[in-house]
Structure 1
Amino acid sequence: MSRQLALSAFRVGNGVLGYTTRRIAASTRRTFSSTAQRKKEMIYFSKASSQELDDVLTEIRRKIVLPAYLPQPQRAKIYAKKYEKKLQSDPVTIEVDREVFKFRYVDPYSGVPSTKRILFRALDLFSEPADFDNLRPLIEGLAAANRKLSVETLAKLVRVVGTKGHIYKIVELARSVKRTGFKLDESETVNEVLHFIQMKAVFSDWDPAATEKALRWAEIVVDLLEEEDHQPTLKKKDGPPPPGWLPLPRDPMVLLSPLHLAAALALKQGAEAEADVVDKVVKYATKIVLLWEEDKALRQTQPAALFKRGGPFLYISESRNNKFVKLAAPWLYGLNAAVKVLQDQGPQHSELAAQLQKRRDNLDAEIQEARKTASGEIGEVTWRQVFEGENVRQGEQEDGVKVEDKTVEDGNS
């Protein structure tokens, strides 16, 4: 993709280059060098935990981010072979934030890094908490350079950062969507973010403070889905959504995440459960019951056409049962907890509890069937982490990271 962008910049600039060449011929005082004060805010990276990571971030800044600050005609020049010798002695120059940068010829085939490859090369080197402070400028820089990340790349980005324990940094990217371009407009991206937020609570053994924090961040995600900047862009080739399609803010698979966290928190608080936490359990349970018909499996709440190749739910189709089990295990735990919370609230919520129990039973049957044919390990690892107690979670957390990394790479996650 990066090479295509570079070549595109060269093609778009051909006319301008011709005009520039004529101007050079007409005036011996004209040079390639020019200084421009750009209005874009410069991207800076902080000191990383290793020299190797510092070098990768420097390469990203130099070869991807900084060229985006050049006006189009000058950007086209640095990728044009015919100007290689001239640029060697008279480079394109630009000033940003009173810092001067010089650009010489760059081979658009070998000199421009692959966006996806260098992004994950950097992320693989993120290890210390301070390294993750560079995540936002990294994504902002790619956005400023108009480097588009595919749905698959964004989902993998979430998995890598979430597995390393910094999922809230991802939510911050979404909150700053105007600068980062990180949109919550695809089911896979949203549910991966919510999954790792829930796992924060799971790995704390649903500690009240950690679970309350996770609930707060999950609700931030759900609220962001309503914002204009996160609305999906309808592509002409896709046509209108099929009948029965539920948008992300009304998708039970999305709402099950905050329900899980609210219910788990209410259970931990016990008889002293805060009224607003119980109210949240009631709120999300009510929405889910209204949106999820009692005789349907969870995946049947969305039209079947959306689970086919090219559809937004292919990632949890029957051919991807491993991923479905991974995501659905915390949802089932949450339904168990929510039913108990509602039952404990007395007869005023008994009907809602009974209705939620039916959905809970449907999901349990769906998960158990999916476990039989799931290809991969992360689904079972997550199941044990959620349902088989604190000792299992502590013993397998590190192993789970390794399995996650493996399944991300082989596409079975």
Structure 2
Amino acid sequence: MSLTTRGWRAALRQVNRRTFSSSAVSQRHTLPTFEPSSNEDLDSVLDLARRRILIPAHLNKAQEQMVYREKFRARLSADAPEPVSSTVAGADVTLEHIDRQRDIPAQWQVFSDALRLADTPTDWENVGKLLEGFADAGVRMRGEWVQKFVREAAQKGALHVVLRALERAPRTNVRLRSRDVVSRVLWEVRGVAAENGWGEVETERAIRYAEKVVELMEREEHCGGSGKRVVKPGDLRTLPFVIATPLELNAVHVLRYKGGVDEDGVVEGYAKSLCNNLKHFGLQESTPTEESAPSDGAATTTTKSKSPNRYQNFAAAVEKLRRMVPVWHGLELARRVLQPQNRLPLEKVEVYRVLGEVRGEAEAAVEAMRANLKEGQKVENHADYQAWVQVRDEKE
């Protein structure tokens, strides 16, 4: 028996030795098992994620030495006489050599590819499993990743997967902890109704989604918790568009499908909440929002940022417009529903003043978009501008 053979067999025995210290991670977590997807490319991406990101994150010390050390490369190669199996995070896997410099893919690229390729319900179920696998592996779910997840899911009719991920925040690390993420989620929820002509079924679905998001924001894993029962300026739950989105959707439903009668007082309730919020906190466009620390516990650092470029200015203007649209439209529709019964939560003059202020902010955002477009581009072709014009020019 050669020294090399004795060496790898000794290493293998060490790899499979079940000690408390070396297998602690494996005992706490499990590796996701992906279902066959609708296309081979997505299967390849998910397989790559499992082999090169998820499994390596759960290796114990002995397994790491075998997988990463050059002297075991040949033994773990596909041409080896027999595969080397071991238990990793509760699953039996075949170990393979990994070159830390060349074999580990960029986490963002893998996630982005999975979102791009996902199409069917099964595909999106796999994306949900990938999110949980990333969280178990300690992969930080950055805000821009969450926004892309929400955008892609919404475009492909899989927004329910986003809601499920938010419900399982401790397992997925998909959290409502920044203004941009909350804005993106609620804008896409609103789009379920708005982009389908405010159809009855779609509007009712959007109402359920919006109210679920607002409910989730009260949970400790998002914005709430026992220590945050009293809100203050900057709390994400006080941002006008958060309250205005369910107001807008319910007001649309009342006007279109209930003869304009707010039978259950839902529109009045949301309108009172929004008006009271605006009275105490205003639009909060210049108020720093309270954004929680990264979900992975990493400390945040403050660095001197460069001046925003044209692309960043345009993106900021678009985000602002998305925040203003439901506030203006929600208040306007609430006025139509409640004013005939003298149930407006603000004096008539004050309502028009607030509507004028919000409209001014929206139009300022449009002008900022226009000023930062590339030569030859027109703001009129932008979907979010069109969404604003649709409600702005809506006739009673």
The answer to whether the superposition gives a TM-score over 0.5 is yes
Query: Which residue of structure 2 aligns with residue 268 of structure 1?
Result: 256
In the alignment, which of 350, 358, 365 is matched to residue 363 of structure 1?
A: 358
Please say if residues 329 and 382 of structure 1, whose CA atoms lie closer than 8 Å, have aligned partners that are also in contact.
Answer: no
CA contact (8 A) 1:326 1:379 kept: no
2:51 is aligned with 1:62: yes
Which TM-score applies when normalising by structure 1? 0.73
How many angstroms does 1:258 deviate by? Answer: 1.3
Query: Residue 81 and residue 230 in structure 1: after superposition, are their counterparts in 2 closer, same or farther (change >3 A)?
Result: farther
- Name the CA distance, whole Å, in 1 between partners of 2:70 and 2:242: 50
Give the structure with the higher percent helix: 1
Q: Which moved more, 1:144-153 or 1:379-388?
A: 379-388
Greater Cα offset, 260-269 or 328-337: 328-337
Deviation at 1:174, TM superposition (A): 0.6
Cα deviation digits, residues 121-160 of structure 1 (max 9, x gap): 1111112333222221010111111111212222222222
1:300-311 mapped onto 2 (5 Å cutoff): 300=286, 302-303=287-288
Matched-pair contact (CA < 8 Å) for 2:210–2:245: yes
Distance in 1 separating the partners of 2:313 and 2:90: 53
Counterpart Cα distance in 2 of 1:75 and 1:30: 11
Which residue in the other structure is 2:334 paired with? 338
What whole-Å deviation, never above 9, does each CA across 1:27-49 have from its counterpart, x for those lacking one? 96973541769443441222211
**Does the 8 A contact of 2:318 with 2:384 survive in 1?**
no
- 1:249 match: 237
Q: How far has the Cα of 1:70 moved from its partner?
A: 2.7
Q: Which amino acid aligns with 2:233?
A: W
CA distance in 1, matches of 2:41, 2:121: 16
Measured in 1, the distance between the counterparts of 2:10 and 2:316 equals 65
Distance change (3 Å), C-alpha of 1:378 and 1:166:
farther
The question of 1:213 aligning with 2:205 is answered: yes
Task: Give the Cα–Cα distance (whole angstroms) in 2 for the partners of residues 328 and 364 of structure 1.
Answer: 8
- 1:291 is aligned to 277
Q: TM-score, normalised by structure 2?
A: 0.76
Residue 169 (structure 2) pairs with residue 174 (structure 1): no
Q: 1:201 to 1:155 in 2, by over 3 A?
A: same
Structure 1 distance, partners of 2:289, 2:123, is 42
Gaps of at least 5 residues in structure 2 are 1-5, 226-230, 292-301, 374-378, 392-396
What is the one-letter code of the residue matched to 1:367? A
Give the distance between the partners of 2:58 and 2:187, measured in 1 at CA. Answer: 37
Q: Is the 8 A contact 2:380 2:386 kept in 1?
A: no
- Looking at structure 1, the residues matched to 320 and 83 of structure 2 have their Cα atoms a distance apart, in angstroms, of 53
Matched with 2:178 is 186
CA contact (8 A) 1:208 1:269 kept: yes
Residue matched to 1:280: 266
- Aligned partner of 1:329 in structure 2 is 325
Residues 275, 345 of structure 2: 8 Å contact kept: no
Which residue is equivalent to 1:160?
A: 152
Structure-1 residue corresponding to 2:34: 45
Q: Measure the CA separation in 2 of the matches of 1:74 and 1:129.
A: 35
1:3-82 aligned at under 5 Å gives the runs: 31-34=13-16, 38-39=26-27, 40-75=29-64, 77-81=66-70
Q: Secondary structure at the match of 2:343?
A: helix
| Cα offsets for 1:361-409 (capped at 9, x unmatched) | 21101111221121355994223245438xxxxxxxxxxxxxxxxxxxx
Identity value in percent: 23
CA displacement at 1:320 relative to structure 2: 1.8
The separation in 1 between residues aligned to 2:138 and 2:182, in whole angstroms, is 22
2-structure distance, mates of 1:182, 1:260: 26
Q: How much has 1:73 moved relative to structure 2? A: 4.3
2:3 aligned residue:
none
Aligned residue for 1:230, secondary structure, equals coil
In structure 2, the CA distance between the partners of 1:144 and 1:336, relative to structure 1 (3 Å rule), is same
Counterpart residue identity of residue 137, structure 1: K
Once the two structures are superposed, residues 187-218 of structure 1 have per-residue CA deviations (whole angstroms, 9 ceiling, x without a partner) of 11111001000000102211222212211111
For residue 384 of structure 1, what is the amino acid of its counterpart?
Q
How far off is 1:259 after superposition?
1.4
Q: Cα distance, 1:232 vs. partner?
A: 8.5
Match of 2:294 in 1: none
Aligned residues: 349
Matched, 1:123 2:119: no
1:349 is matched by which residue type in structure 2?
A: L
Q: SS of 2:259's equivalent?
A: helix
Structure 1: runs of 5 or more not aligned: 1-23, 234-242, 390-413
